[in-house]
Amino acid sequence: MSIPAIVLIGAEHPDELLSGFARYQHEYDVRLVRSCREALETTHDVLAGGATVAMYASESVVPDAETVLHAFHKLREKVPTARRVVAAHWDRFLTDAPGLRPGMAAGKYDAFLLMPRGTRDEEFHNAITDLLSDWGSTVPDPEVVSVKIVSPVRDALTLGIRDFLDRMGMPSRVYPPDSDGGRFVLDMWEGEPAYPLVYALNRPVVHARTVRDVAITLYGAPTELDLDHVVDMAVVGGGPAGLAAAVYAASEGLSTVILEAEAIGGQAGTSSMIRNYLGFPRGISGMRLAQRARNQALRFGARFYTGQSVDELRPGRDGDPHVLCTDSGEVRARSVVIASGVAYRKLRVDPLEELVGMGVYYGAAMTAAREMEGQDVFVVGGGNSAGQAAMHLARFARSVTILVRRPSLAETMSSYLINEIEYNSRVSVRTCTAVVDGGGDGRLDWLCLEDTGTGVRERVPAYGLFLLLGAEPHCDWIPDSVARDDRGFVLTGRDVPREHWRDGLPPAELATTVPGVFCAGDVRAGSMKRVASASGEGASVVPLVHAFLVPEPT
């Protein structure tokens, strides 16, 4: 396999810049150039040799470019997936920063760093390795493979399995049955092969009929583990709210179980880059944020069961524990936190619903983005998730068009994302537009778009359609005794109808109408539908659980 390149652009201090990247020369093809022209020529040579560029790192001044940002713009047109870093020399760091930092907010580059002033500048290298790790998670075929998938076709199930693995932070690769990797897995399979086959290290090969089969193979079912006793807190949902609740509850000594139907991280876990989350100045992908939170909760003793869909909540009576029912068994808990999040609303265009997984995707579908290289794709939605998906797709697709019914994005999307979209030449926005039809022979080939003001329709070629249409709660499993609003979101605190108040007082802010059952995150009525607010609610619910489990003496 060809070694990915790191291209360094250094004219004023080339030796210092090259020295700063010395530790990467063993695993990357590190090349030093003196100008934008040389960087473009080097990029051409790297691509012609069958490799790619993982990162461009430049001093804050490039001789033959108006600014370093103009140089990065030209280089991004050649390799959109490469990460872009300004490594300013210490003589210029303070003077050049004010003019360059606004470009980072517009997505023109990924990090503004101080060039290392000596060996073992771990702050610098922490930033570089984070960016290279993020780059590695986007390449179609990672070099380090945790899970091998064998399939003769890349159908919706194969793509769904790989998307689940990506969201769990497990690099995977798909192998044809007649490849070396395919034969390696088939040699461990007894009987006639049935596809897709999935092999994870130190686990038996399985024929996956659903994504859930893979989740149970990797993480087990509740009945396979010690859940005979009653736990202090059971969390339904492994998104930001559920993860925060798990971290704080487990760290305070509560026995904690988390049940997640899909992948840890929930809807936020599909975000390619979250740039406005506190404490991550260079941004962080939803997957990495979720996996770090999961590892943090595991460290404190929380237990995760992935691929476990809760079918029913049976509230406890007279001090009995609550019971969460899954088709793999039951979990009994003294308290329950509902953090099951929301699903994207359906488009409800029948021909397109039939192509879900074959060019039509609900959510960001991070894995599917790799399949869009050189294609024309569309994103429906005006929120931050849609903006993040569009920016990620632009790394691969020839063009990305955001479709919104509103006259602008300003009402629903953060300004930093709007700035990134305006700067990216591959991304465009069509306002006052709806998708009304589409189709293709076995996969998406075209869409019919309608101007919501004039009613005029236009047929356009399309290889991918990503639908991020807003929220519908995951509440089918919740009993009627837990009050909900007319849209199905769970009511808590003062939003609970007065007939459910006790002694003239409403439940606590995150408490529901059932004692011992709490709610946090997007599924809660009145929540902000943001990663940060969901995390805050997850943390805030733990003191309420404590107060319920150990009431103050009267």
pLDDT block averages, 10 residues each, the chain of length 554: 90 94 95 97 95 96 92 92 95 92 87 88 93 82 81 88 86 91 92 92 89 83 61 96 97 95 83 82 86 95 90 92 89 96 89 92 82 94 92 93 95 90 93 96 94 96 93 89 95 94 92 97 91 95 94 64
- Using CB atoms within 10 Å of the CB of residue 319, give its burial: 0 to 12 exposed, 13 to 18 middle, 19+ buried: exposed
Q: CB-based contacts of 479: which residues, under 8 Å, 6+ apart?
A: 312, 313, 314, 315, 514
HEC letters along 375-421: CEEEEECCCHHHHHHHHHHCCCCCEEEEECCCCCCCCCCCHHHHHHH
pLDDT of 207 reads 95
Q: Is the peptide bond between 177 and the residue preceding it cis, with omega within 30 degrees of 0?
A: no
Sheet-wide strand order for 433-439: 433-439, 446-451, 457-461
pLDDT of 32 reads 97
pLDDT of 155 reads 85
pLDDT, tens digit, 9 for 90 and up, residues 161-219:
988 888 888 888 999 999 999 999 999 998 888 999 999 977 889 999 998 889 888 87
Contact 222, 328 (CB under 8 A): yes
d(Cα 485, Cα 471) in Å, to the nearest integer?
Answer: 14
pLDDT of 318 reads 84
d(Cα 126, Cα 122) in Å, to the nearest integer?
Answer: 6
Measured distance between the N- and C-terminal CA atoms of the chain, rounded to whole angstroms: 70
d(Cα 475, Cα 543) in Å, to the nearest integer?
Answer: 24
Q: CB-based contacts of 140: which residues, under 8 Å, 6+ apart?
A: 370
SS3 content of the chain, % helix, strand, coil (to 5): 30, 25, 45
pLDDT of 269 reads 77
d(Cα 198, Cα 179) in Å, to the nearest integer?
Answer: 15
Residue 526, CB-side half-sphere exposure with 13 Å CA sphere: 13
- SS3 of 354, please? coil
Q: CB-based contacts of 48: which residues, under 8 Å, 6+ apart?
A: none
